[in-house]
Structure 1
Amino acid sequence: MSLMVSGVLLCSLQTCCVCGKMGATVACQQKRCARKFHFPCGSRQGCVSQFFGEFRSLCWEHRPQQTVETHQDGDTVCIICMEPVEDRTSYSTMVCPFCKHAWFHRGCIQGHALRSALKHFACPLCKDREKFLPEMWRLGIRIPDRRPAWEEEEEQNLEDLYETYSHCDASQCLYRGGREQSEEEE
């Protein structure tokens, strides 16, 4: 039996520590931690998967924490969605490690990372990349290495400009040969 087949069989027998169902394929990488989980279950429970280097996953107990020393001025809102954030850093509330003034929800900064991609991902407030990127990677934010979403959308919009319109929508066709002949010529 090959190593690959035995690995698949072993994973199918692993129980997810979150939902209790079989087939858990992700294990906490902390030494002596036996927690195994399905990737979606782990994400919902607060597990962190780091999408760089060794591609480690850590359970909610062993996941990295932000150690930035900062305080909020009154009611602080997420710089992306403008909704209130928790009064401290946590799994779901993060702060820029450079300016220490940009607070955001995990889901909001993840969406920002997916749209911006690696080339343009930076703190939405101070635009720092030097400290911001490594911290976001460490905290489990996935930053794809591709073109940003707006460039892909822009390219699609440009392609649409070169498309010729294929039929007449006018209520009264003004083409001398009539609507059918006009559409046949195109």
Structure 2
Amino acid sequence: CFVCLQRGATIYCQGTGCVRRFHLPCAAAGGCVTQYFNEYRYLLSPPHHHWEGLSTSHLTQPSPLAHSSFCWQHRPEQSVAVAPEANTICLICLDPVEDRRGYSTMVCPACRHAWFHRGCIQEQAARSGISGFQCPLCRDRDQFRGEMLTLGIRVPQRLPEWDPDDFASLNQRHGRCDASQCHCPRGREQAEEEGPWQLLLCCSCAAEGTHRSCSHLDNSTASWECHSC
């Protein structure tokens, strides 16, 4: 392996005339790229026209559709003529990126304004899956995914894998009186099953609530709508 200088390297650089080999775990340290286009070949033929973004003719690389690997000297490079401005941050981790486009600092080819670290976009790809992988800024999918695959970002073929805690609030019912003046002696967070301190939620948004007494609603009132709605 030209990176760690140990034996057992089975990955060959496919650059013309190149004899370098490396281990897959050493690829990042050596600035190497392995493409995984073979996993998506069936998406490149009709009628999947929305995958035309996987065309890689705009990149300098020998074999656009092969499961190919390249060393730092022969790896594909982004061809967009842009560079990050001073103090540009990664849109994913919010840490600064390098002052120029390269192996570790990448840009969305569609909007040319979304900058991110290679490691950060690889983590996002692993969580998003091929169906949810897109530019974190402009939301472009076809051109963005095609370029990221070409540059060696591996995107698993599965649905997005989100943290269940991200949606925990969707299962929680609003339980607070939001009237400008709450008169409940036990406070805004308290509610009863019926009577003046029964909590009614907005019939339109269900994101605000009021005690009957706090909004002067009698027991015959079945619904209530907040001021926002």
When normalised by structure 2's length, the TM-score is 0.58
For the Cα contact (< 8 Å) 2:83–2:101, is it kept in 1? no
Aligned identity (percent) is 54
Structure 1 Cα separation of the partners of residues 13 and 129 of structure 2: 27
Structure 2 Cα separation of the partners of residues 20 and 39 of structure 1: 13
Deviation at 1:20, TM superposition (A): 1.5
- Structure number with larger C-alpha Rg: 2
Structure 2 Cα separation of the partners of residues 73 and 107 of structure 1: 20
Say whether 1:23 aligns with 2:8. yes
Superposition map of 1:28-43 within 5 A: 28-43=13-28
Superposition map of 1:151-166 within 5 A: 154=164
Structure 2 Cα separation of the partners of residues 142 and 31 of structure 1: 24
Structure 2 Cα separation of the partners of residues 130 and 93 of structure 1: 20
Say whether 1:52 aligns with 2:37. yes
- Amino acid aligned to 1:56: S
Match of 1:95 among 107, 125, 150: 107
Structure 1 Cα separation of the partners of residues 31 and 150 of structure 2: 14
When normalised by structure 1's length, the TM-score is 0.71
- Amino acid aligned to 1:105: H
- Amino acid aligned to 2:33: V
Q: What secondary structure does 2:148 align onto?
A: helix
Corresponding residue number in structure 2 for 1:177 = none
Structure 2 Cα separation of the partners of residues 137 and 130 of structure 1: 11
Match of 1:128 among 140, 154, 173: 140
For the Cα contact (< 8 Å) 2:35–2:67, is it kept in 1? yes
Structure 1 Cα separation of the partners of residues 149 and 121 of structure 2: 11
Corresponding residue number in structure 2 for 1:69 = 81
Q: What secondary structure does 1:94 align onto?
A: strand
Structure 2 Cα separation of the partners of residues 99 and 31 of structure 1: 32
Say whether 1:106 aligns with 2:115. no
Q: What secondary structure does 1:149 align onto?
A: coil
Deviation at 1:17, TM superposition (A): 1.4
**Structure 2 residues not aligned, in runs of 5+:** 39-65, 169-229
Q: What secondary structure does 1:40 align onto?
A: helix
**Structure 1 residues not aligned, in runs of 5+:** 1-15, 159-186
Corresponding residue number in structure 1 for 2:151 = 139
Deviation at 1:43, TM superposition (A): 2.3
Deviation at 1:147, TM superposition (A): 1.6
| Greater fraction helix | 1
Cα distance per residue 1:53-96 (max 9 Å; x no partner): 32100001100111111243331000001000011110000000
Alignment RMSD: 1.6
List structure 1 runs of 4+ shifted beyond 3 angstroms.
none
Corresponding residue number in structure 2 for 1:119 = 131
Structure 1 Cα separation of the partners of residues 131 and 22 of structure 2: 32
Corresponding residue number in structure 1 for 2:95 = 83
Structure 2 Cα separation of the partners of residues 67 and 131 of structure 1: 13
Corresponding residue number in structure 1 for 2:203 = none
